[in-house]
Amino acid sequence: MLRNFATAVAREVSRRSDSVLLRHSPVVALSDCGKSRLHTSCRLHQDEAQDQIEDDPNFFEMVELFYDRGASLVEDYLVETLKTQETDIEKRNRVQGILTLLKPCNHVLSLNFPLKRDDGSFTMVEAHRAQHSQHRTPCKGGIRYSLDVTVDEVKALASLMTYKCAVVDVPFGGAKGGIKIDPRQYSLRELEKITRRFCVELAKKGFIGPGVDVPAPDMGTGEREMSWIADTFQMTIGHRDVNALGCVTGKPITMGGIHGRTSATGRGILHGVENFVMEAAYMSAIGLTPGFGDKTFIVMGLGNVGLHSMRYLHRSGCRCIGVMEIDGSIYNPSGIDPKELENYKIQHGTIVGFPDAQEYEDNLMFEECDIFVPCAGEKVINANNAHKIKAKIIAEGANGPTTPAADKILLDNKVLVIPDLYINAGGVTVSYFEWLKNLNHVSYGRLTFKYEKESNMHLLESVQESLERKFGRNGGPIPIIPSDAFREQIAGANEKDIVHSGLTYTMERSARQIMRTAMKYNLGLDLRTAAYVTSIEKIFRTYHDAGLTFT
């Protein structure tokens, strides 16, 4: 498997190296000796370039390398299972063609627009939106506000969203957007102006709409920004669209949001870890016992995803021994209480100085623990530090935290990496539920809530009457007392119950698919490749069954 991946990398490196040599080398006649020296020089350049690409690829290139690894494994299987009257060569051409068209982004929109700031000065705002694939519509992906936003990052995240949606069987194509600003440097009024202008620009270019492209919160954005986008779309381009509120997810409840969306990604991380930590085979392979059982964990990044991951893992019996933030890290081997830390951060704006933990001077990522949860930026785990990580499980709460070179090192060290395209898919899963709610114009459980409660009460009464007729003395009463668990659910499932149940089922079913793929291709602990293969198979079937338009 790794040889196939290395071959794909080598082909890309060879192509780039040859291109560089052709651009910069004069055309001269070479003796055999000269050819030999040039060949040796080319090999050295290729080896250096290959190491550089694997160690420090740009984000989009990194996702493509992971994709190539999965595609190289699944290609033969797709050819063999293709039920057409074509020859073997024609089948392979068809498979390779579809696999090739899955890689690039279909559409990329780059914008620059002016902003008049509160002090009267003017500045230009840079923004981007990428749509990777329309094999399913609408496209789906968050909008982030960060100074690190680039076209490359947006394209990478959009492609990752395509594969992520396919892994968890959410019928969306992948998209992503971003505005290159530091939201902390802008007033509330300025942020609202930026957000609403971005929404209008997206609408003018056909990059937003309930059936076209549906944004969601990401780094630096939340319910507030999604509410501004929904209102702007509804009051402008979508003023005649009854489904206009479905143009964006992650909204407040009052704007058509759904209960459980804010914590969905963190809750999905809990279920993702749970599905693998309960498997004896995987735990035995990495030297741990099944179950949460007082396992220790460290969180990198205490934003929305990191905080809710910390909460849910803590409630499941794990012990948080460390938290990393951009301005400092804290450590307590006895455990850190999530609620107390959250209250402290709200009050002080930082985790530094938290009284129930000590400040950690070195890199907390290298501290010994059972589970490491990176919920910060991309490529934080690379070839320079992967060998220092002592955690047995890495749950990728962030997008793209591990480079290809680091991934190899972690596999060699028998570290179980639960990949981003599966484990942080809880957010898009619940976004799907919210989108359906907006299209249906009714909240989950509203039509059945009272009926289920009355049905359960009638069931208890029927059981009681039957027992009294059979065993009651002179028809005396035999009280039926429901258990605590049944009493909690006797009134039926509300919206939050349905969302949590749907998310749990989605993460469990997707984990089983990844495990089966890993066994089918003998991938061992390489869950990332198993997830990509699972995703590629599904997307391929969609493209193949639908056919290609105007080719």
Which pLDDT value is given to residue 494?
A: 82
Which pLDDT value is given to residue 463?
A: 82
Q: Sheet of 213-217: strands edge to edge? A: 107-116, 122-131, 173-179, 139-145, 213-217
CA 242 to each of CA 210, 232, 249, 259, 441: distance values in angstroms, whole numbers, following the listed order:
10, 14, 16, 22, 9
Judge whether residue 44 has pLDDT over 90. no
Which pLDDT value is given to residue 198?
A: 96
Residue range 119-139: mean pLDDT, rounded? 94
More confident residue, 294 or 382: 382
Given a contact cutoff of 8 angstroms between Cβ atoms, the answer to whether 131 and 213 are in contact is yes
Judge whether residue 59 has pLDDT over 70. yes
Helix (H) or strand (E) holding 267: helix 264-277
Judge whether residue 40 has pLDDT over 50. no
Which pLDDT value is given to residue 20?
A: 37
Judge whether residue 19 has pLDDT over 80. no
Which pLDDT value is given to residue 474?
A: 64
d(CA 2, CA 68): 11
More confident residue, 53 or 386: 386
d(CA 269, CA 511): 12
**Which residue out of 155, 176, 193, 392 is catalytically annotated?**
176
Which pLDDT value is given to residue 32?
A: 44
Residue range 221-235: mean pLDDT, rounded? 94
Judge whether residue 89 has pLDDT over 70. yes
Judge whether residue 47 has pLDDT over 60. no
SS3 of residue 34 by DSSP: helix
pLDDT in tens, 481-536: 777 777 777 777 788 889 999 999 999 999 999 999 999 999 999 999 999 999 99
| pTM for the model | 0.83
Judge whether residue 207 has pLDDT over 60. yes
Q: What are phi and psi of 128, to 5 degrees?
A: -145, 150
**Residue type at position 66:** F
By CB neighbour count within 10 A (0-12 exposed, 13-18 middle, 19+ buried), where does 332 fall? middle
Judge whether residue 21 has pLDDT over 60. no
Given a contact cutoff of 8 angstroms between Cβ atoms, the answer to whether 126 and 180 are in contact is yes
Lowest mean pLDDT among 7-16, 182-191, 431-440, 456-465: 7-16
Which pLDDT value is given to residue 37?
A: 45
Clarify whether 538 is annotated catalytic.
no
Which pLDDT value is given to residue 550?
A: 63
d(CA 178, CA 187): 18
Q: Which residues pair with 173 in a beta bridge?
A: 139
Which pLDDT value is given to residue 475?
A: 59
Residue range 59-76: mean pLDDT, rounded? 90
Structure tokens at 238: 């979508």
Which pLDDT value is given to residue 54?
A: 55
Query: How high is the mean pLDDT of the chain?
Result: 85
Lowest mean pLDDT among 36-45, 201-210, 327-336, 375-384: 36-45
pLDDT in tens, 413-461: 999 999 999 999 999 999 999 999 999 998 888 887 777 877 877 888 8
